[in-house]
Amino acid sequence: MAKLKIEDLDKITEDVRRKMTIREGGGNVKITVHMGTCGIAAGARTVMSVFLKEIETHNVKDVIITTSGCAGLCSKEPMATVEFGDQAPVKYIELNENKVKKIFDDHVLKGKFVTEYALSIGSERIQ
């Protein structure tokens, strides 16, 4: 295959635009990967890369992925939070490639919590 050039983006952009008129999604699932010093040292970047790869492989359009800082539970890193539709956010802990794939298949794609990898369900709030 020929080497990619910046100009190749024009065709990709055109393709994406054409497909966009057919599908309308827009952020049904939000994934937040915790990217503090602790998270990065524990493997958060791999978690991010695996999520991106899964999104690409499954060709899903309504998933937003973002990063946040240290959540204060450094010993449980790498961590990620998944919010599916209106359901409560779920914090997953001590992630690795296989756990991320399972979370993607069950929770991100089907809305089914993976309780064995979860720390908690719901977000912390100070009253």
Partner 1 sequence: MEDLSLHILDIAENSINAGAKNIEIVITDSLSNDLLTIEIKDDGKGIDAEAQQKVMDPFYTTRTTRKVGLGLALLEEAAKDADGQLKLESELGKGTKVYAVFRLSHIDRKPIGNIVDTIVTIIAGNPELNLKFIYKQDDNKFVFDTTEIKNRIGDLEINSIEIIKFIHQYLSENVNKLL
Binding status of residue 97 toward partner 1 by CB under 8 A: no
Sign for the CA dihedral angle at 38, 84, 51, 14 comes to negative
CB 82 to partner 1: min, Å: 15
Least Cβ distance, residue 44 to partner 1 (angstroms): 8
List the interface residues with partner 1, window 34-93 (CB under 8 A): 35-38, 40-41, 45-46, 48-49, 52, 55-56, 59, 61, 65-67, 69-70
87 Cβ contact partners less than 8 Å away, ≥ 6 residues apart:
111
Spatial neighbors of 79 by CB under 8 A, at least 6 apart, are 33, 34, 39, 44, 71, 73, 91, 92, 93, 94, 95, 119
List residues binding partner 1 (CB under 8 A). 3-4, 6, 8-10, 12-13, 15-17, 33, 35-38, 40-41, 45-46, 48-49, 52, 55-56, 59, 61, 65-67, 69-70
